[in-house]
Structure 1
Amino acid sequence: MSASAAFRRTLLTSASRLSRPATNNTFSSFTRTASPISRSSQAPFSKAPARHFSATMADKEGVHNLTSRADFDTAMATKDTLMVLDCFATWCGPCKVIAPQVVKMSDTYKDARFYKIDVDDVPDVAQELGVRAMPTFFLFKNGEKVSEVVGANPKALEAAIQNNV
């Protein structure tokens, strides 16, 4: 038998194995004997919309979320207290990394008020402030900007807070 004839015979044998119906020792027998998935009578998920990670973390810890222009204006109206504003985005990795450290700072510096604002949810505020990178932290006192920290740099943020408290 020639090499090409042997090769054709191997191909035909392999093809015939693939076209055979499943037998008891193959996947079909496994699917028949596998235990069924238990079904609960309760719905697996709540119908309430899920809150964003930063919202659930911040509301419990002293960093308050500003979700509208009106919220921002109200926060800016208070006087004689340092206001730390974290301009973040939900898709921003460094924003997620620094968030727990900002929460700790809010516990440490009780004389300052900490806020977060999602630049995608309130773009007019982000544009007015000139946010070009996330995270960007603005520090305000009596409605005036006193400092700005760009990037996830906790040491620089803490130094700016200490200088302005």
Structure 2
Amino acid sequence: MISRTVLPMTYQVYNESNLKDDWGVGDIVQSLFFSPSKTSESGITWGVGPAILLPTASEKTLGADQYGLGPTFVILKQTHGWTVGALANHIWGVEHDDDVDAISSTFVQPFVSYTYPNSTTVGLNTETTYDWNSEEATMPVNLTVTKVINLNGQLISVGAGARYWADDHDASPKGWGARLIASFVFPKK
């Protein structure tokens, strides 16, 4: 079983409106992938399982304010420092206020990265989200650089990146953004 927890921390600037900027955490998306313990003969790794949305946003504008559940999958191939693959999920709202539409959202993340022998990784991906209720999509494109470091025996992948919204809608972020990355690494022993 592979666990993937995403807890976004966001600083959202509203340049062209009277809205006050938002800062805080978003909703947690917890994915659990059940995967074969060994890579296939062709070098493919895959996993399937549930994606769970937990309403943990500190500001209403940073989250959906409802619980959600749906399927997720990941498939990738690693060879000679390269990793190529895709991750996807669909989440439906399972508990929400009566005056709010239940979430129905598809997330697709194709990715490619190269890891150098010194454990520095350069990656490129998109994080396309399609909202089936509003029939609108967002598609930020991300270029990141990360490095695995050892902090008191705990491996952590730290890095930064640039983001550009190639597709957006009225209520979504636009233009350029930045991201800081910290991922704890728990290798098999």
TM-score by structure 1 length?
0.23
Larger RCO, structures 1/2 (Cα 8 Å, 6+ apart)? 1
The structure where strand makes up a greater share of residues is 2
The structure where helix makes up a greater share of residues is 1
Q: Which has the larger radius of gyration?
A: 1
